[in-house]
């Protein structure tokens, strides 16, 4: 299961245009989990129409993030991390002092 969340936004006070979106994406298979956090910067384009800040929903902004990052790419990366946890190819430890 993958969960996309917007944790914060930064906007221009003059027009309410969102210039930075802070996001978190997490995934779990019930036993293992992986997540990523980041920011995406947007630039206001002259003549561009945008949703006023007070009318934005998390669904709208998550859509922007998914489009910017590539939803399938992010989810595949998280799944790779989960797969690596479930089937590790490397382990840490010392051979001495085992019970």
Mean pLDDT (whole number) for 2-25:
94
For residue 17, the enclosing domain spans 2-86
In a domain, residue 20? The reply is yes
Check: CB of residue 27 under 8 Å from CB of residue 34: yes
pLDDT band at 14 (very low <50, low <70, confident <90, very high): confident
* Count of CA atoms in the C-beta half-sphere (13 A) of 8: 4
| Nearest CA among 22, 23, 19, 3 for reference residue 53 | 19
pLDDT value for 48:
78
Mean pLDDT (whole number) for 55-82:
96
97 pLDDT above the threshold of 80 = no
Q: The dihedral of CA 68, 71, 76, 81: what is its sign?
A: positive
Give the predicted TM-score (pTM) of the model.
0.84
In a domain, residue 56? The reply is yes
Check: CB of residue 36 under 8 Å from CB of residue 27: no
In a domain, residue 99? The reply is no
pLDDT value for 51:
85
| Number of domains making up the chain | 1
In a domain, residue 36? The reply is yes
**Distance between CA atoms of residues 12 and 88, nearest Å:** 46
Poorest-pLDDT segment among 33-42, 55-64, 67-76, 84-93:
84-93
């Amino acid at each position: 299961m993958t969960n996309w969340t917007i944790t914060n936004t930064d906007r221009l006070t003059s027009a309410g245009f969102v210039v930075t979106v802070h996001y978190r994406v997490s995934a779990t298979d019930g036993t293992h989990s992986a997540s990523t956090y980041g920011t995406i910067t947007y630039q206001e384009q002259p003549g561009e129409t945008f949703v006023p800040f007070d009318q934005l929903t998390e669904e709208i902004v998550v859509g922007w993030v998914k489009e910017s990052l590539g939803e399938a790419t992010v989810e595949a990366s998280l799944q790779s991390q989960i797969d690596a946890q479930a089937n590790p190819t490397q382990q840490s430890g010392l051979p001495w002092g085992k019970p």
